[in-house]
Structure 1
Amino acid sequence: MTDIHTHSATRIAREIRAGDRSPVDVVDATLDRIEERNDRTNAFVTVTGDAAREAAREAERAVKRGDDLGPLHGVPVAIKDLDDVAGVKTTFGSKLFADNVADADDEFVRRLKAAGAIVVGKTNTPEFGLGCTTDNRVVGPTGTPFDPDRISGGSSGGAGAALGDRLVPIAQGSDTGGSIRTPSSCCHVFGLKPSFGRVPRVDRPNAFSDQTPFSHTGPMARTVADAALMFEVMAGPDPGDPFSLPADDTDYLAATDRPVDDLRVAYSPDLDTYPVEPTVRAVVDDAVGAFEDAGATVERADPDLGHDQGEILDAYYTMAKILWESLFDGLERDHGLDPRGADRDRLRPVTVETILEAADVSTREYTRAQMVRSDVYDGIVDLLAEYDVLVTPTLGVTPFEHGEHPESVDGTPVDRLRGWLLTQPFNFSGHPVGAVPAGLTDEGLPVGMQVVGRRHADDVVLAASAAVERERPWHDAYPA
């Protein structure tokens, strides 16, 4: 069982169903791996060893009884520490919740468990998920397995590191501005930001907050097929989410085997407005050739977003600040906390600066931001009327050392906290995006690219991403 960490979730599930693998052995080996290696990257903040072992024993009894097994029966999974697993701490990466224990499972967690997946722990995230790098005052920073002194991305950085260091085969992430795609790029794993509403988010006290801008929950894995299998379990409507999409009969796992010889691919190396380091551009330029190798047609084409990077970023954070202020209102109403007063000192300085010390957003500023958002949406829709997918780098930089946020990218000054991402436009638009490993630089640092599909065409994104994986497999690149 010492090699279980190299196996895919689909393989593990298949072998357990066939009786060739024991869920108990799989979970024991996974927990041993986490204990052995988690100190390298600080991916997990909580390990649920006792509960996972009991779930594995019950999973094994189900196999022996001949029960009808779910598609993820016995497969270990990690959950981001922004989301609830019953009886397990959810810290949100904040000292305000260092001892907070969840009463119930979030809906997607319930679905994963019902499919037979076994939760082995919670992965690290910046405070309340507010950050493009993963660092907090509860457990500290998380590094990429390729160089733990460098960032794993954020805010699902713990999930990305846990996958890239082969601690678990599948993990869950969430994405409001790039939080699935950034760690996927930094840790050389695959992530799917699904179409908005495909995986329900039952958020309270504000059920409508996820539209400002669009927030997504999705799967992360080392293989596209594993992410597709996990996605099939997580997806589907829920009456508690006013934006959840109706059920459909798409076979997302089967989509990963589709040929793509009729696919038209638009390649934009910088979205016509974002700075990208030459080392990143070179890796993505080469990776795009995988589509041509698979038979697809690739053309150089840029979306007309109607605004430059600075204007898009300003509009994005005008809207995001409203979302974050709503979060703090909930802390006051539902938890009796006072983040603006007595509890302020327990927050990270960057949280205070980003939310509490930022200027209030006026109705007029918010309306103008929505107009910028509309222009960005139109530009993406117009381009995808001519092409099946749009491919672009995920980040303008490679993973940098902890605390060393870039002041410029390829000589262009940028917002040091968030100006090196090319991800926010697709949280404006809600389109599905696959975050695909593109390759490694000469220094051995990972680079990722985004595969953007038409609205609700998650299956096409998975098919295109799987074609890259077949032509340019990345599975042997992970650290030993």
Structure 2
Amino acid sequence: MSALRGRSARELATAMRTGTLSALDLVETALERIEATAELNAFITVLEDSARERAREADRAADRGEDLGPLHGVPVAIKDLRSRKAGVRNTMGLAPLADNVADEDSIAVERLEAAGAIVVGTTSTPALGHTIKTENRIVGATPTPFDHDRSAGGSSGGSAAALAVGTVPLATGSDIGGSLRVPAACCNVIGLKPTFGLVPERVSSDGFSTHSPFFVGGPMARTPEDVAVFLDVLAGQDGRDPFSVPRRKTDYVAATDRSTADLDVAYSPNLDLQPIAPAVRETVDAAVGDLATAGATVDTVDVSLPPYEELSMAYVEQVGVFFSSFAQQLAEQYEIDFETADVAETVRSTIALGAGTDATAERLQNVTRTAAYDGIENALDGYDVLVTPTLTVPPYSKHLADGYPTEIDGQSVMGVPTDAMLTWVFNLTGHPAASVPAGFTDDGLPVGLQIVGRRFAETDILSVAGAIERARPWTDRYPAV
């Protein structure tokens, strides 16, 4: 187990090059760890045979002295939604698709394998990735390893839990409202939502579906350096994605070592938008304070956004249309009747959100989005990044049927997912954002700190992530599950 757990992807790839580790040993260790932590339901499909065969090929290539990719021999996991591997089942968290097999690789899988990585399994997601708890009818609920009664978050909760217990050092995620960042916060890892277009995503039937709100794929890992390495592999234009853009000459890894004293950070405890649980506020305040003590310039700022009710309605209306159209495409392609299918009621209610939305009304929500974008740009003026809590509450119950908190810091809230997080705003505005570990509540629950940058300024986000890791190290704080 020590060959993999607690070691970074860069360390493992380096050990492969120097011959001190073999890819087969790494894969065997990953598979053993997956089996030992099976109670987390982090994986939907485990690829024992194909992963071992690719590992043997990787070892033979190393023995021949071939040029090795930056992730040569490194075990990785892919979220079972739009990260597809040909010949492997792709369920999207849907029981009716439990036996569906992908007929092509996604762009992310192509790039990972070209870099030498070895896919050891697909990670759990709620059906269609529809919410911020990871529970489905195929494997059940995925808890955070820090408290098995609480959620790993969603919709990339399987990837986050897999990272937290050291089954793999890298995992893919995707994000349309917080699905990279929320599980990162719940599981004490890092999830980066990159700028829209930086990481290409090919949607076979509707390549233009990802812009309202912005849907992106991105990297998840335990350290800023590994996120940087992973982003370097994933980023860059691909003609199959009409929104993808060319890579800039950017050194993401070097950005993680930028001097803390060079950083100018704007801090908003709640985006002037929502109540925050005291335990979360205190933990994030402490992390921001340590960042300032380490030399960063940190100022608390006001953020001028539309009122919560107006802004959340813009998000809910547009994300509802996204899921409604996504479900309709799947219904036609796979002959699924979502009214009678074996799915949770939250799936049906999410699909229904956009079913009756007028097209003109949906497009008019871009007026509210524009006001939000301007508010975030103004808050960033003069600063490298804006930081906030990721979630407004600590990790919540893992079961979909239990709902979400209805009171936060003494204030009544609606008990809907947008109440529990500060992430969805940036799927409306398009700003890149990451969640990094901020620390723990008094009862040992992880808290995430969200770092927001300007478009294509991922280096600034990674610089602040690196500074926080130096100020408040977390890689020795994972449970021995």
**What's the TM-score once normalised by structure 1's chain length?**
0.96
1:104 is aligned to: 104
2:151 is aligned to: 151
**What's the TM-score once normalised by structure 2's chain length?**
0.96
Please report how far the alpha carbon of residue 3 of structure 1 lies from its aligned counterpart in structure 2 after TM superposition: 4.4
1:192 is aligned to: 192
- Confirm or deny: 8 A CA contact 2:320 2:352 kept in the other structure: no
Distance 1:250 1:290 in 2: 28
> For structure 1, which runs of at least 5 residues remain unmatched after alignment?
none
Counterpart amino acid of residue 76 in structure 2: V
Per-residue CA shift, 1:48-97, capped at 9, x if unaligned? Answer: 01110000000000000000000000000000010211111111111121
1:36 is aligned to: 36
> For structure 2, which runs of at least 5 residues remain unmatched after alignment?
none
- Confirm or deny: 8 A CA contact 2:322 2:354 kept in the other structure: no
After the TM superposition, which residues 206-285 of structure 1 pair with which residues of structure 2 at under 5 Å, given as runs? 206-285=206-285
User: How high is the sequence identity, in percent, across the aligned residues?
Assistant: 49
Please report how far the alpha carbon of residue 471 of structure 1 lies from its aligned counterpart in structure 2 after TM superposition: 1.3
Distance 2:352 2:368 in 1: 24
More off after superposition, 402-411 vs 387-396:
402-411
1:173 is aligned to: 173
Distance 1:99 1:381 in 2: 45
1:383 is aligned to: 379
- Confirm or deny: 8 A CA contact 1:270 1:392 kept in the other structure: yes
Distance 1:110 1:313 in 2: 36
2:344 is aligned to: 348
1:337 is aligned to: 336
Distance 2:302 2:208 in 1: 32
2:405 is aligned to: 406
Please report how far the alpha carbon of residue 296 of structure 1 lies from its aligned counterpart in structure 2 after TM superposition: 1.3
Distance 2:128 2:233 in 1: 25
Distance 2:202 2:323 in 1: 17
Q: How many residues align?
A: 475
Aligned in 2, Cα 1:347/1:401: closer, same or farther, shift over 3 Å? closer
- Confirm or deny: 8 A CA contact 1:266 1:302 kept in the other structure: no
Counterpart amino acid of residue 405 in structure 2: P
- Confirm or deny: 8 A CA contact 2:94 2:136 kept in the other structure: yes
Per-residue CA shift, 1:441-462, capped at 9, x if unaligned? Answer: 1100000010101111001110
Please report how far the alpha carbon of residue 430 of structure 1 lies from its aligned counterpart in structure 2 after TM superposition: 1.2
Distance 1:220 1:282 in 2: 25
2:67 is aligned to: 68
- Confirm or deny: 8 A CA contact 1:78 1:172 kept in the other structure: yes
2:288 is aligned to: 288
The reply on whether 1:134 has 2:134 as its aligned counterpart is yes
SS in 2 for 1:261: helix
Distance 2:141 2:420 in 1: 19
Per-residue CA shift, 1:195-238, capped at 9, x if unaligned? Answer: 11110011131111100100111111111101110110011001
Aligned in 2, Cα 1:30/1:205: closer, same or farther, shift over 3 Å? same
- Confirm or deny: 8 A CA contact 1:275 1:420 kept in the other structure: no
- Confirm or deny: 8 A CA contact 2:324 2:355 kept in the other structure: no
2:50 is aligned to: 51
Counterpart amino acid of residue 181 in structure 2: R
Distance 1:467 1:134 in 2: 30
1:16 is aligned to: 16
Distance 1:458 1:23 in 2: 30
Distance 2:105 2:375 in 1: 38
1:27 is aligned to: 27
Counterpart amino acid of residue 59 in structure 1: A
- Confirm or deny: 8 A CA contact 1:132 1:417 kept in the other structure: no
Please report how far the alpha carbon of residue 18 of structure 1 lies from its aligned counterpart in structure 2 after TM superposition: 1.1
Distance 1:2 1:426 in 2: 38
After superposition, the CA RMSD in angstroms is: 1.3
Distance 2:200 2:75 in 1: 22
1:437 is aligned to: 437
